[in-house]
């Protein structure tokens, strides 16, 4: 099983994401934003960071990076794609996911261990979690406020497409405390917190994040 992690100029968490993929038991493949090539991978992670310096809007320029043509095409064919933080912003800008992410309502960068509830454990990236599982992973963002119009939010809720929700105080002003969402098919997931930073006890708040990556492996094995 080969899971690609795209590096954009300004990506920060690509190495951690590749490490998490390896911990989960898959082969991590480094992909480059400037290549029109997915290198034959079975799934893709768009990692966190500040691609293209967050110029214009977070993810707005990355969306047009050469590799994104292939990413969008693969996602539309059902390949598992996980966007973490900046990757989530890129997925929204690419219209693979609805809504947008705006500056935190309290205007401060947030960096903390965050409690979440997994609301949908049927996606390609969450099938290894129990329904309603409460997990703690790292949250670190300046522009993590998820927004969408009321009818889009109602549709996401109604179709069970809210993948994870913040528990406790809302950390960034996300509407309905939404931390992550999925597309209709459940293969594309965008998540503001960082599961790749919670895959071993030594360097993170625990191992609660690992199941995102083992879920993809399981989804691919069952495909």
Q: Which residues are catalytic?
A: 85, 194, 196
Structure-token pair, residue 171: 């950390």
- What does the alpha-carbon distance between residue 33 and residue 31 come to, in Å, rounded to a whole number? 7
Closest to other proteins by CB, 57 or 117: 57
Q: Does the footprint of other proteins cover residue 107 (CB under 8 A)?
A: yes
Q: Does the footprint of other proteins cover residue 10 (CB under 8 A)?
A: no
Q: Which of 183, 192, 200 is nearest to 74 (CA)?
A: 183
Rule CB under 8 A: choose which of 21, 31, 45, 92 binds other proteins: 92
Q: Does the footprint of other proteins cover residue 218 (CB under 8 A)?
A: no
Q: Does the footprint of other proteins cover residue 106 (CB under 8 A)?
A: yes
Q: Does the footprint of other proteins cover residue 151 (CB under 8 A)?
A: no
Question: Residue 45 carries which DSSP code?
Answer: E
Asked if residue 137 lies in contact with residue 193, where contact means CB atoms within 8 angstroms, the answer is: yes
Q: What is the rounded (10 degree) CA torsion for 31, 46, 78, 124?
A: 120
Q: Does the footprint of other proteins cover residue 109 (CB under 8 A)?
A: no
Q: In which region does residue 73 sit, left (phi positive, over 0), alpha (psi from -120 to 50) or beta (all else)?
A: alpha
Nearest approach, Cβ of 100 to other proteins (angstroms)?
Answer: 5
Residues of the shown chain interacting with other proteins in the complex, contacts defined by CB under 8 A: 56-57, 60, 64, 92-93, 98-100, 102-107, 145, 147-149, 173
């Amino acid at each position: 099983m080969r899971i690609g992690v795209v590096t954009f100029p300004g990506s920060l968490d690509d190495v951690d994401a590749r490490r998490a993929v390896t911990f989960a038991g898959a082969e991590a493949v480094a992909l480059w934003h400037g290549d029109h090539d997915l290198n034959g991978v079975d799934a893709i992670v768009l990692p966190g960071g500040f691609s293209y310096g967050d110029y214009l809007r977070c993810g707005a320029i990355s969306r047009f990076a050469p590799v994104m043509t292939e990413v969008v095409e693969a996602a539309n064919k059902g390949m598992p794609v996980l966007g973490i933080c900046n990757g989530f912003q890129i997925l929204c800008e690419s219209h693979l996911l609805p809504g947008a992410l705006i500056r935190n309502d309290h205007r401060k960068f947030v960096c903390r261990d965050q409690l979440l509830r997994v609301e949908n454990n049927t996606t390609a990236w969450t099938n290894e979690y129990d329904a309603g599982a409460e997990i703690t992973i790292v949250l670190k963002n300046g522009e993590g406020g998820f927004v969408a119009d009321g009818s889009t939010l109602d549709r996401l809720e109604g179709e069970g497409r809210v993948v994870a929700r913040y528990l406790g105080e809302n950390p960034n002003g996300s509407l309905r405390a939404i931390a992550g969402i999925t597309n209709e098919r459940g293969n594309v997931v965008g998540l503001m917190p960082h599961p790749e930073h919670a895959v071993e006890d030594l360097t993170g708040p625990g191992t609660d994040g690992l199941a995102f990556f083992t879920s993809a492996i399981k989804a691919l094995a069952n495909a």
